[in-house]
Structure 1
Amino acid sequence: MLAVSIFIHELGHLLCGMLVGVKARIFSMGYGRGIWKKKIGETTYQITAIPLGGYVMFKGDEYGKKLKGEPGELLSTPPLKRMIPVLGGPFANLILGFLLLFILELTGDNSPSNKIFIDPSIESVSQAYKSGLRTGDRITSINGNNTENFEELFTEIALSKGDPIQVTYLRDGQQNSVSIVPSMYSSGGRPAIGVEPAGERRVVATFTYGEQISEWLNQKLNQSGEADQFFEKQLQDQVAEGLIPEEVVKKYEEQTQSKELKSRAVQYLNDGDVILAVNGVDVGTIPELQKELGKYQNKSVQILVDRKTYPLITPWLTERKEITVPVIAADVIEFKNLRNNEFPILNQEILSLPAYDPELSKRLGNIRINDTFYKDVPSLVAAAKNVGSNTVKVSFSGREYLSEINVRPIGLLGFKPSIKFVAEYHNKEQSVGEALVGAGNKVYQNVATTLKGIGMLFSGLLSPKDNLSGPIGIVQVAGLSLEYGWQTYLDFVAKISIALMIMNLLPIPVADGGHIVMYAYEAIAGRPLPRKVMEAIFRVGFFFLIGLGIYVSFHDVLRFF
């Protein structure tokens, strides 16, 4: 997919070069040594052993002795005319993106509707929920801009910079309006109001490559579990003899608990398993799964999953399997109807503390119930259960409230959950002309959104670590998009192609935009920059791009492990 976008980009350079008489020395499909070559005229066409992407090398593309001033040389062509083959690459990416979006529009590609879903587990922190919006509402406009689908809704919120937005929505056929201040503490630092597209949801079990490799090695080297038992006994003996400090033991226990919560189920489930039912009961969201598992604490349950048959080759092909998995018992402490008499603005409907979170033990010093401090989490849970239906005084970091307390039993399997959903779509039928207009509007929206996003990255409103991806991350997302069908995949390819156009047009030395700036200077000044200056500028651009590539690839790899 990325390789195709790059190949089309280089083909654009070649064809636009031919258009203005600039000749290519080499046009390569892929990188490395050519395994098939054919010379036509002065151009050698080749396919390499690594047919990913490609490149074009023009005749006379370097200043120096090799530049003879002959017709067909890139740098012997007038600078304004020289820009055409350089612009050809980004233009080809634009055409590819437009054509793919046009095909999708013509074939009835439908975006997720503007009907929203608010996860019950985040209602206490959802800005939308606290402002009065509810699951099933349709957001029809934001700040006066119509939002026909969820993609438009998401874009308007994400580009709000955290400023208050005016949201118009429909509920039971009646139009309402409310002002919402987006939260800046969402994943990636993007403004968000705590809403998701409406549709069918399923919980997906995910494990990092590190966790999967660790489990594979454990199965090969420690099938009987004797190594774990030996290590545990050695640890207990050294603790009894006082050879290991108590704080070290405590930290080890926290790490073990955290590992169990994140990856214990890797013994039973595969990465990407979609959970459909527990003991025959259908489950969709994470709270539904945890609630159903809570009925079987410390017991084994039958989990019906949709499993990829060949995840690396055909991730869209699945088969249903029933797996027996033991349930980890856990509790959630819920502080309901929190009232602060001194500062009513601090009142909250509910505050949930997952008692199974290893980090909770570090925060116990800030939590009081009826002025009582609890030294460990089990003591806190026991005290919360004893409260019953009474209203008690609770304190968080010295801030006092009156509250009712409920301890809700749940069950866990031991994996990091994600959500897969089939959205409720905004259906539309359109003619060829309407499809052309729709594709053009989508291209415009993609360009405008990308440029505004780049501005927010430079201003610090968006985190580069969480919002930039390299080839590794792009391949991962492409694989996920394939699971949702060819339309989702083609839409992703179109967006990547348009993003490639924009990135290449940025005035970065080495990139196409950098060359355009150089040629524009030459056209205005009547002469090129001194050779040493150009070499220095391109050297800086080269190291910048290499550094950026290493940075985004490093964080892409971290997401895997």
Structure 2
Amino acid sequence: MNLLDYILPFLLALGILIVVHEFGHYAVARLCGVKVLRFSLGFGKPLLVRKAGADQTEWVLAAFPLGGYVKMLDEREAPVAAHELHRAFNRQSVWRRIAVVAAGPLANFVLAIALYWGLYTGGVEELRPRLAAPEAATSAAHAGLQGGELVRSINGEAVETWQEFRWKLLNLALDKQVVTVETVNASREIGFHKLDLAGVVVDQAERDVTAQLGLQLQRPKLPAVLGRLSASGAAEAAGLREGDRVVRIGDSSVELWTDLVTIVRDAPGRTLEFEVLRDGRALRFQVTPSAVDDNGRSVGRIGAALADAEDQREQMFVTVRYGLGEALSKGIGQTWDTAAMSVSVMGRMIVGEVSVKNLSGPVTIADFAGQSARMGWAHYIKFLALISISLGVLNLMPVPVLDGGHLLYYVIEIIKGGPVSERAMEIGQQIGMALLAALMAFAFYNDINRLVAS
């Protein structure tokens, strides 16, 4: 993949999330009778400006896309005509101001719920939580977990997918708990295993939580049978066909699809002799894998997919689908759990229980955007939902310059019976800008460290 394969999905995601967030502010401001002067996607010099509506609101696309804002009529920023004073933001009741400010983060949560609801209604294909044999001397091995077992629940909570299994483990690992994992094996025997999470380190610089525990997803042994071929791929150009069974490449025998993939990946641009079985006959072909960039490494590809094996597919995948009402409930639950997890991790970072290396900046987010887009639309939608929730949580932090900081001012106003002084707000803004700049710098530093480490 080239750089655009990461930048374009990142910019698309960023644009969607910013527009939704700012539209939350805009819509509630209009409902509260506040005059909106400008809706801007991005900061800095306006590239495109269009005026629309009875108030001639400016709709702006600006040069620097990492953010946006809604500018409202406000006496603190410019003189307001007497006949429009009732439409100034600063003249609204504290409860209306709270509604306008809170609407941005809430819009991000609503977007996440809608995305999850759409996925669960339409159905999304997920990996089953079927375990491979655990590594020796790991927590999973000590717990008695065995290869081929299917996870049914953790601490009594049902588990349907591998992703759900990993998510629940991550949540429980924050508290270093000993959890009960319920499994069922091929003989339909149910087992209960005590899995100790005390040794797990929640840190992006470390291995995944499941890997630390010795847990791996079982990967079936699939024969090296070619499926759909790319029209411009090396396999079709060499004369290979769908349904060919590869038995040898060069001097190496090939039994499994993983054998084929390993040999091809290690031979970009180098001609290989494929021996295949076709209709009972052994045939040989000269195939030159194309050189493709994979995260900075040149690897070989021949443009051939694995033949669909329905029996193996049934063992590996499950389609998660719910009715409209249950899908909505699942979407709300997923959004709530993710937001609560984000808040918990932030709190644990402050007290030192979780490493600050878990902070991610735009480089890491762009990397995830590109990877999720490459994996398919369902994964990209999940990425959008996750980042939308993170944006909502971040903006609710009680830091001046963020929405949460303004909400904090309004809570103080309610308690003391009057607005916070202009001087206090000015000092708060300066502190907030410094904190936000430090947070962004540290997140970017983590991004660079991850790039160097990888």
Q: TM-score, normalised by structure 2?
A: 0.72
In the alignment, structure 1 residue 431 sits paired with structure 2 residue 413: no
Contact residue 23 and residue 42 of structure 1 kept, 8 A: no
Is 1:110–1:428's contact at 8 Å kept on the other side of the alignment?
Answer: yes
Structure 1 residue 432, shift from structure 2 partner: 2.3
Aligned twin of 1:147: 159
Please tell me whether the aligned partners of residues 34 and 48 of structure 1 are also in contact (alpha carbons under 8 angstroms). Answer: yes
Q: Check conservation: 2:113, 2:332, Cα contact below 8 A.
A: yes
Q: CA deviation at 1:289?
A: 6.2
Does the 8 Å CA contact 1:162/1:191 hold for their aligned counterparts? no
Bigger strand fraction? 1
Indicate the residue corresponding to 1:549 in structure 2. Answer: 440
Q: How does 1:438-517 map to 2 (within 5 A)?
A: 438-465=330-357, 467-517=358-408
Match of 1:535 in 2: 426
| Deviations 1:366-386, CA, capped at 9 Å, x for gaps | xxxxxxxxxxxxxxxxxxxxx
In structure 2, do the counterparts of structure 1 residues 464 and 530 end up closer, same or farther at CA, with 3 Å as the change threshold? same
The alpha-carbon distance between structure 1 residues 15 and 464, as it changes in their structure 2 partners (threshold 3 A), is: same
Identity in percent: 26
Give SS of 2:194's match: strand
Aligned to 2:378, the other structure's residue is in SS state helix
Note the C-alpha offset of 1:538.
Answer: 1.8
Residue 86 of structure 2 aligns to a residue in which SS?
Answer: coil
Equivalent in 127, 132, 137 of residue 112 of structure 1: 127
- Structure 1 residue 185, shift from structure 2 partner: 4.2
1:175 to 183, 187, 190: 190
Asked if 1:48 is matched to 2:48, the reply is: no
Q: Give me the whole-angstrom Cα distance separating, in 1, the residues matched to 2:385 and 2:128.
A: 20
Q: In structure 2, how many angstroms separate the alpha carbons of the residues matched to 1:63 and 1:52?
A: 23
Q: For residue 214 of structure 2, what is the aligned residue in structure 1? A: 194
Offset, 1:169: 1.4
State the 1:445 CA deviation.
Answer: 2.4
Deviations 1:97-153 (A, max 9, x none): 11111111122113332222356xxx1342112321122212222222222222332
Which residue number in structure 2 is paired with residue 58 of structure 1?
Answer: 72
Q: Shift in Å at residue 519 of structure 1?
A: 0.8
Q: Give the 3 Å change call, closer, same or farther, for CA 102–185 of structure 1 in structure 2.
A: closer
2:145 aligned partner:
133
- TM-aligned CA deviation for residue 517 of structure 1: 1.0
Q: Which residue of 1 aligns with 2:22?
A: 10
AA aligned to 2:110 is I
Task: Flag the structure with larger Rg.
Answer: 1
What CA distance in whole angstroms lies between the structure 1 residues aligned with 2:360 and 2:147? 32
Question: Structure 1 residues 523 and 66, CA, compared in 2 at 3 Å: closer, same or farther?
Answer: farther
Aligned: 1:281 with 2:254: yes
Aligned equivalent of 2:302: 320
Q: After superposition, what is the alpha-carbon deviation per residue over 1:311-358, rounded to whole angstroms, capped at 9, x for unaligned? A: 79xxxxx95179xxxxxxxxxxxxxxxxxxxxxxxxxxxxxxxxxxxx
Q: 1:426 Cα deviation (Å)? A: 2.6
How far apart are 1:65 and its partner, in Å?
7.6
Structure 1 gap ranges (5+): 203-275, 294-299, 313-317, 323-421
How many angstroms does 1:485 deviate by? 0.7
What aligned pairs does 1:80-95 form with structure 2 within 5 A after superposition? 80-95=95-110
For the 8 Å contact 1:143–1:167, the answer to whether it is kept is yes
Distance in 1, matches of 2:350 and 2:121, equals 37
Structure 2 distance, partners of 1:435, 1:424, is 23
**Equivalent position SS for 2:89:** coil
Q: Could you tell me which residue of structure 1 aligns to residue 281 of structure 2?
A: none
Q: Displacement, 1:285?
A: 7.4
| Unmatched tracts of structure 2, length 5 or more | 1-12, 223-247, 275-286, 305-313
Q: Deviations over 1:1-34 (max 9, x none)?
A: 1232122101111111111012222111222222
Q: Deviations over 1:33-69 (max 9, x none)?
A: 2232223325222223455542212221747988989
* Shift of residue 308, structure 1, vs aligned partner: 8.1
Decide whether aligned partners of structure 1 residues 201 and 51 sit closer, same or farther in structure 2, where only a CA change above 3 A counts: farther
Select which of 178, 181, 184 maps to 2:200: 184
Q: TM-score, normalised by structure 1?
A: 0.59
Cα distance change of structure 1 residues 474 and 125 upon mapping to structure 2, 3 Å threshold = farther
CA distance in 2, matches of 1:308, 1:18: 55
Aligned 8 A contact 2:124 2:321 in 1 = no
Quick check: 1:39–1:45 contact (8 Å CA) kept in 2? yes
- Give the whole-Å Cα distance in 1 for the aligned partners of 2:421 and 2:315: 57
1:196 partner letter: Q
From the superposition, tell whether residues 186 and 29 of structure 1 become closer, same or farther in structure 2 (CA, over 3 Å). closer
**Relative to structure 1, is the Cα distance of residues 494 and 112 closer, same or farther in structure 2, using a 3 angstrom cutoff?**
same
CA 1:56 to 1:151, structure 2 compared with 1: closer, same or farther past 3 Å?
same
In 1, Cα distance between the equivalents of 2:203 and 2:137?
14
Change (3 A) 1:542 1:53: closer
- 8 Å contact 1:159–1:191 — kept in the other structure? no
Q: How does 1:177-256 map to 2 (within 5 A)?
A: 177-182=192-197, 183-185=199-201, 188=204, 192=210, 193-199=213-219
User: Which residue identity is paired with 1:451?
Assistant: V
Q: Report the Cα offset of residue 493 of structure 1.
A: 0.5
For the residue of structure 2 that corresponds to 1:497, the secondary structure is helix
Deviates more, 1:57-66 or 1:40-49: 57-66
* Match among 83, 90, 103 for residue 75 of structure 1: 90
SS at match of 1:45: strand
1:534 Cα deviation after fit:
1.6
Q: Does 1:20 align with 2:40?
A: no
Residue type at the aligned position of 2:302? R
Contact 2:203 2:355 in 1 (8 A): no
RMSD across aligned C-alpha pairs, in angstroms?
A: 3.6
